[in-house]
Amino acid sequence: MTTVTRRARLGPDDVEAIRAPRCGLIEERADADGSFSAVRGPVASYCRRVSVASGADGAVEVTQTVEYRLAVPLLGWLVGVPVRRRLTRIAPDNGPPWWGPPDVLDAAATAALTGLLTLATVLGYLGTLLTQTITYSTKEFHVGTAGEGVALAVARADIVVALALVALADRRGRRSVALGGAAAGCVLTALGALSPSLAWLTASQVLARGFVTSATIASSVLLAETMPKGARAWAFGVTAMAAAVGAGTCVVALPITGLGVRAWRVLFVAALLWLGLVAVARRHVVESERFELHRHDSPGARPPVDRSRLALLAAANFFLMAFVTPASEFQNEYLRRERHFSPSRIALFVLVTVFPGAIGIVVGGRLADTRGRRVVATASVIGVTLFGVAAFSIGGWPMWVTTALAATTGSAVTPALNVYGSELFATGRRGAANGMLTAAGRAGAVVGLLTVGGLSQALGKFGPAFAVLSIGPVLLVVLIVTRFPETARRSLEELNPGDAEPGNP
């Protein structure tokens, strides 16, 4: 239990504001004894008491005592200080802090979020490993850029495995697919260390990434079904940050590849270490109430997938991933071949330029919940396209700056667009629909990878290839402006009227 008492001399107007119930990180209610308790919030217990005394000079002496016990498993050490400062300050509460959710999370939603953040960290490492290391594995196997592009494109066949697995999320539950897929992904990813050729490495990672992709889809659906309507995009943003931490771990370990031509295999073996975090996440990730309401529905009773929504979002995923995926997959190759960066310098470049992406995720998620998905998505797609093409076309410090700007704007796309996949489909079809949307994104990624791989090898440069691919994001902007609905601060049941309303929307 944390207890903090603060005193201040305030004017009458400020005193009245302090003696009113707050709604920021905590939604308060006034109790009969004059204290305030929590209706909702990330706390196991909470009480705020305010006493007022008139001073001799006409000012008002205010004493405020706040007692609370934080209910944030796993991450309490990280948010403890800012939460303490926010909850115990004596100034009037003007709403949620800039770093917190735009809507109040209760203790159950907070616990579920922390578990999913832990799982996202694991999936971030597993999902980026092939991307970060393939330039070194192809060097060992004596394969050129075109062959690398083919391997990365073939690896997208993981969606076939993922579609079969994610279908279970609508029948057996999101939790089992998310946790089981992450655990299996750790083991299967590690098998890539035994690969005798690029073909074997690619084949092993198709299976491993299939489990990782299914876990990622199930986790995103579970996240959307668990979060309140005013914080879904924000939650997608902070989950993307957690995934970036996992991916960043891979980047930090990248200098290991410089120890020898076969040293990249160490990073695949290290995938086994992440099983510990999967076990930790298992204690906090629970099945969503929305799924439980529909668990026993017969297939015929479930509403069909809205085909117009599916086609719209599938086209959006195709256009976006056709540009974003090759920009991510070929970055290390571009730095190594065209800019002659060493593994250590590549790691430094990635860390320095990706770090601003955290700003884009936080700001993009909050704005997508408070100002709307469409305006954030439009601005973000335009930014990542312009800065992305520039980053592959110029060198020196401008390359560092444009890459950082591409990461910042590109990160904001994640909460603004990815949340649509869970918002626009009914609970009984949400997993299957997101699997199909991921398949569309994989198809776009394959087109982009083959295009960049072939053009860059033929032209000897990556810049012109990405200039050609920029047509995809341009078409995406047109779709967002003309066809996308606005879903901010609307419940999933409002967006999908056929669904039953859970007790905690």
pLDDT tens digits, 231-246: 999 999 999 889 989 9
pLDDT (tens digit, 9 = 90+) per residue, 264-287? Answer: 999 999 999 999 999 999 999 999
CATH class (in words) of the domain with range 107-492? mainly alpha
pTM for this prediction = 0.86
The burial of 467, by beta-carbon neighbours within 10 Å (0-12 exposed, 13-18 middle, 19 or more buried), is given as middle
> Residue 435, SS3?
helix
Contact 230/489 with Cβ under 8 angstroms?
yes
Distance CA 159, CA 435 (A): 8
pLDDT (tens digit, 9 = 90+) per residue, 426-457? Answer: 888 899 899 999 999 989 988 998 898 888 88
Per-domain residue ranges of the chain: 2-87, 107-492
The dihedral over CA atoms of 297, 298, 304, 310, expressed in degrees to the nearest 10, equals 70
Distance CA 281, CA 219 (A): 12
* Element housing 441 (H / E): helix 430-459
The verdict on domain 2-87 having CATH code 3.40.50.720 is no
Q: Is the pLDDT of residue 505 over 60?
A: no
User: Which range among 88-92, 375-379, 394-398 shows the weakest confidence by mean pLDDT?
Assistant: 88-92
pLDDT (tens digit, 9 = 90+) per residue, 387-408? Answer: 999 999 998 999 999 999 999 9
Q: Find the helix packing angle between 373-391 and 357-370, rounded to 10°.
A: 160
Distance CA 440, CA 81 (A): 43
pLDDT (tens digit, 9 = 90+) per residue, 294-307? Answer: 777 666 566 778 89
Between the alpha carbon of residue 40 and those of residues 103, 200, 494, the distances in Å are: 10, 52, 22
Q: Is the pLDDT of residue 27 over 80?
A: yes
> Residue 2, SS3?
strand
Q: Is the pLDDT of residue 55 over 90?
A: no
